Amino acid sequence: MKISRMNKGSWGKIIAFFDIETDEGFTIKGFKLVSGNDGTFVGFPSQEKDGEYYDTIYASKELRVEITSLAKGEYKNPSEPVEEEIPF
């Protein structure tokens, strides 16, 4: 699993938006890195319904910790872009 895209900025408490690419090749879009009162955490992709936001992706506590660690690492030390050849 790796961060495939991260856009840094300042949108209220949100300090970055990012996508994750799984080892199987799936890309999950819409994660948020949030600077909260108790520290930085990852907000999972969500949808609004009746004024409330509900996560559309569910993960175990261990996976949430792993994703948070990946996002914080990428935010502090961005990885180098990888030039990939497209096979034709």
Which domains are present in the chain? 2-73 (3.30.1120.40)
**How does residue 88 score in pLDDT terms, banded at 50, 70 and 90?**
very low
- Per residue in 2-37, pLDDT tens? 999 999 999 999 999 999 999 999 999 999 999 999
Q: Are strands 14-21 and 27-36 parallel, antiparallel or unpaired?
A: antiparallel
Angle at the Cα of 30 from the Cα atoms of 67 and 66, rounded to 5 degrees: 5
Residue 20 is encoded by which pair of tokens? 């994750």
pLDDT of residue 80: 58
Could you write out the DSSP letters of every residue in 43-73? EPPEEEETTEEEESS---HHHHHHHHHHHHH
Burial class of residue 33, CB neighbours in 10 A (0-12, 13-18, 19+)? buried
- Per residue in 42-71, pLDDT tens? 999 999 999 999 999 999 999 999 999 999
